[in-house]
């Protein structure tokens, strides 16, 4: 059987492997992870990484530091340099 559930993809969801890669790139610190979740909810309407738009996920994988910086600036604008 080769439907979307074979690779963990549902309607409007990223492949699980992509989400795991993003988690490895931007995860680690509980505070930063919380900021990222708030940022993606506000900016993209995604309840978690599974529901990010594919083009956003691709950019995160290419430039994870920029994504982390944007999330931190969103959550802590007073600390922006």
Q: Write out pLDDT tens, residues 34-70.
A: 999 999 999 999 999 999 999 999 999 999 999 999 9
Q: What is the model's pLDDT at position 57?
A: 93
Half-sphere exposure for 49 (CA within 13 Å, toward CB): 22
Nearest in space to 43 (alpha carbons), one of 54, 32, 56: 56
Q: What is the model's pLDDT at position 73?
A: 93
Specify the DSSP class assigned to residue 6: G
pTM above 0.85, yes or no: no
8 A C-beta contact, residue 35 and residue 44 = no
């Amino acid at each position: 059987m080769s439907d979307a559930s074979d690779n963990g993809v549902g309607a409007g969801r990223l492949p699980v492997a992509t989400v795991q890669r993003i988690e490895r790139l931007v995860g680690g610190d509980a505070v930063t992870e919380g900021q990222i979740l708030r940022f993606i909810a506000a900016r993209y309407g995604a309840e978690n990484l599974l529901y990010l738009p594919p083009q956003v996920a691709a950019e995160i994988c290419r430039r994870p530091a920029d994504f982390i910086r944007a999330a931190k600036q969103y959550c802590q604008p007073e600390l922006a340099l």
